[in-house]
Amino acid sequence: MGLVNTVSLAGLPASERFDFWWETVAQSLVSVDASSEQAGDFWAELRSVDLGLVQVLRVRCASFEARRTPRRIRQSDAGGYQLCLLIGGGAGMRQGGREAVLTPADLMLYDTSRTFHAWSVAGAPGSRPPVVADSLTVLFPHTALPVPASAAERLLVTRLPGREGVGALLAAFLHRLMRHADQYTPADAIRLSTVLLDLLAALLSHELDVPPDPGAHDPHRVLLLRVQAFIEEHLGHADLSPATVAAAHHISVRHLQKIFEEHGLGVADWIRSRRLERCRRDLADPAQDPVPVRTIGARWGFPSPAHFTRAFHRAYGVPPARYRRRRRAPGGD
């Protein structure tokens, strides 16, 4: 139902794969400086599930090293956390004076607003034959962290168990979520993001031996998720606006704005960013190649081609037509 996006390097010339991949990572995960001994013949694929407030991605790739530098943070910082579940191969990270080395089924939480040095190896030591580095990653904003940030600080960049207890429940949920992603609707997505964050709250609270943040189930958070689900279902309606969203939920525009502001968001900005993301995904989809750029913009609430071009350029650094051409480099992804 449009929640799933897939990127593969198959078909791209070997000389273009490495740069193309890290441009994709910057758009889908986080911007980093990367290197790899296999850069000349790099292999990777990504499958993402868009749950609105939460994104879930499966990444399989060759070995690499990545550094999130102060310059990268200044250029692009969405203020978020990432939770990694390692499936195959090996991985590790250094951040804030800590180092964690992961083996399959380990979980790890880290902060993308801080510098880090991460690495992934395609095959654990001694494995025959070697396997690719394979992981599931959950992205969510700082404001959605389901335990107090001061408490969660103690768990950043530490190994969390994914084979037993609550960690095993969370890991199983992530695997099933990714496996059946094509079956979900936009309304399902918002509910699933709530379940995912609740499981994360249970895991972090268990490891910290503290109760979950009581704000995790406050009425404002519940209403925010309902509103976001409504927005996802109506992104293609040209008249979607803070006023129509507020009216549909029988609240004032000011009250709606306050609920979003409590989570560091703006209503109009959220609507625009979600529309642009849907447009970006369609422009990157080979099946949409026959559809004119202006039609894709109008489909997701941008009836004016000129306005769509300006908004897309501001968000992604290139006009939509050029973005499509770049994503359709010789061989295509």
Write down the pLDDT at residue 215. Answer: 52
CA-wise closest residue to 45 among 81, 76, 20, 67: 20
Is residue 117 within 8 A of residue 93, CB to CB? The reply is yes
Which secondary structure element, helix H or strand E, spans residue 133, and what is its range? strand 133-141
Tokens of 10: 């198959």
What's residue 315's pLDDT? Answer: 87
Asked if residue 210 has pLDDT above 60, the reply is yes
Q: Which two tokens stand for residue 214?
A: 């009581």
Amino acid, single-letter form, for residue 235: L
H helix or E strand, kind and range, residue 55:
strand 55-61
Element housing 225 (H / E):
helix 219-233
Residues 6+ apart with CB under 8 A from 322: none
pLDDT at 234: 86
Q: For the chain, which domains are there?
A: 1-196 (2.60.120.10), 218-333 (1.10.10.60)
CA gap 122, 124 in Å, rounded: 7
Cα angle: 150, vertex 151, 152; to 5 degrees: 95
Count Cα atoms within 13 angstroms, Cβ side, for 284.
19
Residue 250 has pLDDT above 70, yes or no: yes
Phi-psi region of 211 (alpha: psi -120 to 50; beta: other; left: phi over 0): beta
Q: What is the pLDDT of residue 277?
A: 83
**What is d(CA 239, CA 301) in angstroms, rounded to the nearest whole number?**
8
Q: CB 76: neighbour CB atoms within 10 A?
A: 11
Residue-wise pLDDT for 35-57, tens only, equals 999 899 898 999 999 887 789 99
User: Distance of alpha carbon 98 from its chain centroid, rounded?
Assistant: 24
What average pLDDT score do residues 144-152 get? Answer: 82
Q: What is d(CA 82, CA 95) in angstroms, rounded to the nearest whole number?
A: 13
Query: Whole-prediction pTM value?
Result: 0.71
Closest CA to 160 of 201, 94, 92, 109: 109
Structure tokens at 3: 């929640």
pLDDT of 129: 43
pLDDT greater than 90 at residue 304: yes
For 55-74, the pLDDT digits (tens) are: 999 999 999 999 999 999 98
Q: What is the residue type of 113?
A: S
Q: What is the pLDDT of residues 155-176, one digit of tens each?
A: 999 999 999 999 999 999 999 9
Q: Give the tens place of pLDDT for each residue, 234-244.
A: 888 889 999 99
Residue 292's pLDDT band, with cuts at 50, 70 and 90, is very high
pLDDT in tens, 195-204: 999 899 899 9
The bridge status of strand 55-61 relative to strand 107-111 is: unpaired
pLDDT on residue 330: 45
Average of pLDDT values for 315-320? 89
| pLDDT at residue 19, rounded to an integer | 92
How confident is the prediction for the chain on average, in pLDDT?
Answer: 87
Find the length of the chain: 333
Percent of the chain at pLDDT above 70? 91
**Predicted confidence (pLDDT) per residue in 72-85, tens digit:** 998 888 788 999 99
Percent residues over pLDDT 90 in the chain: 52
The per-residue pLDDT for 328 is 60
What the block records as the tokens of 292 is 């004119």
Q: For residues 183 and 265, what is the distance between their CA atoms, to the nearest angstrom?
A: 29
Question: What pLDDT score does 214 carry?
Answer: 54
What are the tens digits of pLDDT across the range 117-130?
999 998 654 444 44
Nearest residue to 59 (alpha-carbon basis) of 117, 6, 15, 19: 6
Can you say whether the dihedral through the CA atoms of 299, 305, 311, 316 is positive or negative? positive
Whether the CB-CB separation of 120 and 90 falls below 8 Å is answered with yes
Instruction: Please report how many Cα atoms fall inside a 13 Å half-sphere around the Cα of residue 133, on the Cβ side.
Output: 22
Q: For residue 1, what pLDDT is reported?
A: 43
